[in-house]
């Protein structure tokens, strides 16, 4: 499904011949693909195919041994996660990584940290510019809270929320950074149908309204085929298919990877 | 009934982000400050000021400092007494060598302690949990050793004891218990306000993010180096000021043994009992630890001296230890959490339906 009026732009992220191994285990072998601006790209594959490792490489958490990642036209190899964040890459995690002791509001406010300029001394005084800055960012965060329809829980500690809402708050925290590239690691894992539909709607709206480029990992094939523009299929750390959802669905190698082949 | 927030609408984010958004809390704080600044100096006798209120305030400040590092930023430290010693000895040397007034040497001593804290905070970038505790323990022993063995720090006094320089403010020598109490109170109140402001701002959120999940914190763009070292620096600043006040306002003369490991554990117990990650908890914990021994002594006095002094001292330890154990089991989030639960209940009282 492609939303109306959405223009797929130039290549935003180019992954070339990435190889990553942990000791003797090869997590990724020679993987190449690209993601264009405003696109929703999906990475799928059986368990252990290297999907999460791929995301970890993109946002600088892992450093691949070979290959280059070109983001916004700049090639990079070694990068710390917070540098990637500064360049507009945000992500959510497969196992929710919220700050459990903090309220929903504070959790989403942490997503704005990179945009806050006041030093700790001004914050200690909570005077003038520091206070204005807090309020300005609070306004932005409230817009995200409205967007995700979580107004009622904004002052609740994140750790006490049900699973589906935690996933939603985590998406909110990633959105607060106003990312250019949003990486979603299984945003719908463990959700019921209704929650999945909500999450799909949020993802499509984010893509449509904010023009955010999205790369997601998902196991629910119905969702993947519905919302993504392009699908990359990994198996045992190798790319086995790349293309439009319909082409990928009928690809014999993808079917083999998922269903197995008789020997 | 009394503590009901119905009808207190917030129409601006500024109003919603105030320190005390609820009117009753603001009133309560106002009463508390009025009592501390006006009523106590009028009513309290010398014993209360000198032996209970001043140590309570200084302990609160130290607990606040450790709470910033351990409760908010999640870096468990046993170095608190060591950093207090740095503050005390730095203040002493600044006072006698450079002849500075106390309102200059006190913040300077805090800054020196902050620098020392940054140095000993460096390992926290690589290690965490129990291993970090061990490195802060090493910091403690190193600091204690250097102040005992290097006579320069004590200005070559043969006993190793440093004694308080006089505190003069606008030509008045501050030496009566009441003046000392008020000086301590002003310092503690200002630093508490600063701490509260920090923990509700971006830096506080960065600390709590590092505490709750450091990997996620790094991925959303929080620089580990800066955040952790800032926590060490600010925590040490508070501890340094507390150490200087402990030495010169409360005790008058100290040696390095006044800041032994038992003191570090005492401060750690305060924040555990009071509440990790709570400003109020630092005060409640300090109050608990200062007042409990006195309460036990007074209770025993009701028996008219029937209990031997040695038994009493042991009894104190027994009661103290068991209370800590009970606390950890019943309310692991400390007195501050109990206070919060009480407030929740009070919102509905007396009509709980």
- The interface pTM score, or ipTM, of the predicted complex is 0.86
Domains of chain B: 45-348 (1.10.3470)
Q: How far apart are CA B275 and CA B270, in angstroms?
A: 8
Structural tokens at position A239? 């790319």
Task: Give the nearest partner residue to A177 out of B198, B213, B221, using CB atoms.
Answer: B221
Contact A82 B218 (CB under 8 A): yes
Q: Cis (ω within 30 of 0) for the bond into B350?
A: yes
Judge residue B263's burial from the number of C-beta atoms within 10 Å of its C-beta, 0-12 exposed, 13-18 middle, 19 or more buried. buried
Structural tokens at position A10? 């130039």
Mean pLDDT over B262-276 rounds to 90
A205: Cβ contacts below 8 Å, ≥ 6 apart = A147
A83: Cβ contacts below 8 Å, ≥ 6 apart = A60
Which of A34-43, A111-120, A172-181, B243-252 has the weakest average pLDDT? A111-120
From the CA of B64, how many Å to the nearest CA of chain A?
A: 14
CB of A178 within 8 Å of a chain B CB? The answer is no
CB of A125 within 8 Å of a chain B CB? The answer is yes
Contact B208 A101 (CB under 8 A): yes
Task: With CA atoms as reference, report the closest residue to A1 among A211, A169, A200, A150.
Answer: A200
pLDDT at B352 over 70: no
Q: Kindly indicate the confidence band of residue B237, based on its pLDDT and cuts at 50, 70 and 90.
A: very high
Q: What is the 3-state secondary structure (H, E, C) of B117-154?
A: HHHHHHHHHCCCCHHHHHHHHHHHHHHHHHHHHCHHHH
Angle at A45 between CA A41 and CA A47, to 5 degrees: 130
pLDDT at A134 over 80: yes
CB of A86 within 8 Å of a chain B CB? The answer is yes
Q: How far apart are CA B131 and CA B126, in angstroms?
A: 10
Yes or no: say if A43 and A217 are a contact pair by the CB < 8 Å rule. yes
CB of B211 within 8 Å of a chain A CB? The answer is yes
Q: Kindly indicate the confidence band of residue A5, based on its pLDDT and cuts at 50, 70 and 90.
A: low
pLDDT at A1 over 50: no
Q: How far apart are CA A243 and CA A248, in angstroms?
A: 6
pLDDT confidence of residue B62: 96
**DSSP helix/strand/coil, B162:** strand
pLDDT confidence of residue A96: 85
pLDDT tens digit string along B279-326? 999 999 999 988 888 887 787 777 766 677 788 778 878 887 888 788
Range A1-88+179-263: architecture per CATH: 3-Layer(aba) Sandwich (3.40)
Looking at beta carbons, which residues of chain B come within 8 Å of A131?
14
Task: With CA atoms as reference, report the closest residue to A159 among A209, A115, A234, A104.
Answer: A104
Looking at beta carbons, which residues of chain A come within 8 Å of B216?
93, 97-99
Looking at beta carbons, which residues of chain B come within 8 Å of A91?
219
Contact B220 A138 (CB under 8 A): no
Mean pLDDT over A147-174 rounds to 90
CB of B161 within 8 Å of a chain A CB? The answer is no
The ranges assigned to domains in chain A are 1-88+179-263, 98-178
Task: With CA atoms as reference, report the closest residue to A92 among A224, A193, A218.
Answer: A218
Chain A contacts in chain B segment 260-299 (CB below 8 A): 277
Kind and range of the H or E run holding B168: strand B168-169
The backbone torsions φ and ψ at residue B27, rounded to the nearest 5 degrees and listed phi first, read -65, -45
């Amino acid at each position: 499904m492609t939303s109306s009026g959405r223009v797929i732009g130039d290549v935003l992220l180019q992954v070339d011949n990435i190889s990553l191994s942990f000791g003797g285990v090869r997590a990724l072998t020679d993987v190449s693909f690209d993601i264009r601006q405003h696109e929703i790209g999906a990475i799928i594959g059986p368990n252990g195919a290297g999907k999460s490792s791929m995301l970890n490489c993109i946002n600088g958490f892992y450093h691949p041994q070979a290959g280059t990642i070109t983001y916004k036209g700049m090639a990079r190899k070694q990068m710390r996660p917070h540098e990637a964040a500064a360049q507009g890459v945000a992500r959510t995690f497969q196992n929710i990584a919220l700050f459990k002791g903090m309220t929903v509001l504070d959790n989403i406010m942490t997503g704005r940290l990179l945009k806050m300029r006041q030093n700790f001394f001004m914050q200690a005084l909570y005077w003038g510019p520091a206070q204005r800055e807090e309020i300005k960012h609070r306004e932005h965060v409230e817009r995200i809270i409205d967007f995700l329809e979580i107004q009622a829980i904004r002052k609740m500690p994140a750790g006490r929320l049900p699973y589906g809402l935690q996933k939603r708050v985590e998406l909110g925290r990633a959105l607060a950074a106003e990312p250019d590239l949003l990486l979603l690691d299984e945003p719908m894992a463990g959700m019921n149908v209704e929650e999945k539909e909500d999450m799909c709607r949020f993802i499509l709206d984010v893509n449509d309204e904010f023009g955010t480029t999205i790369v997601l990992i998902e196991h629910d094939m119905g969702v993947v085929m519905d919302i993504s523009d392009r699908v990359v299929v990994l198996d045992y750390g190798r790319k086995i298919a790349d293309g439009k959802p319909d082409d990928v669905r009928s690809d014999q190698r993808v079917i083999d990877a998922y269903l197995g082949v008789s020997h | 009934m009394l503590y009901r927030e119905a009808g207190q609408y917030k129409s601006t984010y500024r109003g919603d982000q105030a320190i005390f958004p609820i009117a009753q809390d603001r009133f309560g704080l106002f009463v508390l400050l009025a009592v501390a600044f006006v009523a106590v100096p009028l009513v309290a006798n010398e014993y209360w000021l000198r032996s209970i209120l001043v140590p309570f305030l200084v302990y609160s400040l130290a607990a606040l400092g450790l709470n910033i590092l351990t409760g908010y930023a999640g870096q468990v430290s046993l170095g608190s007494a060591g950093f207090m010693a740095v503050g005390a000895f730095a203040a002493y040397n600044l006072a006698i060598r450079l002849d500075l007034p106390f309102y200059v040497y006190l913040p300077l001593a805090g800054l020196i302690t902050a620098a020392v804290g940054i140095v000993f905070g460096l390992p926290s970038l690589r290690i965490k949990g129990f291993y970090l505790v061990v490195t802060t323990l090493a910091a403690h022993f190193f600091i204690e050793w250097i102040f005992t063995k290097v006579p320069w720090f004590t200005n070559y006094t043969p006993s190793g004891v440093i004694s308080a320089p006089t505190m003069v403010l606008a030509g008045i020598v501050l030496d009566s218990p009441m003046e000392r109490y008020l000086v301590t109170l002003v310092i503690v109140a200002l630093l508490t306000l600063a701490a509260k402001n920090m923990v509700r701002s971006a830096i506080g959120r960065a600390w709590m993010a590092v505490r709750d999940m450091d990997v996620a914190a790094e991925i959303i763009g929080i620089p580990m180096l800066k955040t952790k070292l800032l926590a060490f620096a600010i925590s040490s600043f508070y501890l340094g000021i507390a150490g200087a006040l402990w030495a010169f306002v409360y005790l008058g003369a100290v040696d390095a043994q006044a800041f032994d490991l038992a003191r570090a554990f005492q401060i750690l117990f305060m924040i555990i009992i009071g509440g990790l990650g709570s400003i109020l908890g630092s005060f409640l914990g300090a109050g608990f630890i200062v007042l409990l021994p006195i309460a036990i002594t007074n209770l025993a006095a009701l028996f008219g001296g029937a209990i031997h002094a040695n038994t009493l001292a042991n009894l104190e330890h027994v009661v103290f230890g068991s209370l800590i154990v009970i606390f950890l089991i019943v309310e692991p989030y400390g007195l501050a959490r109990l206070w919060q639960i009480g407030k929740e209940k009070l919102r509905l009282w007396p009509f709980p339906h």
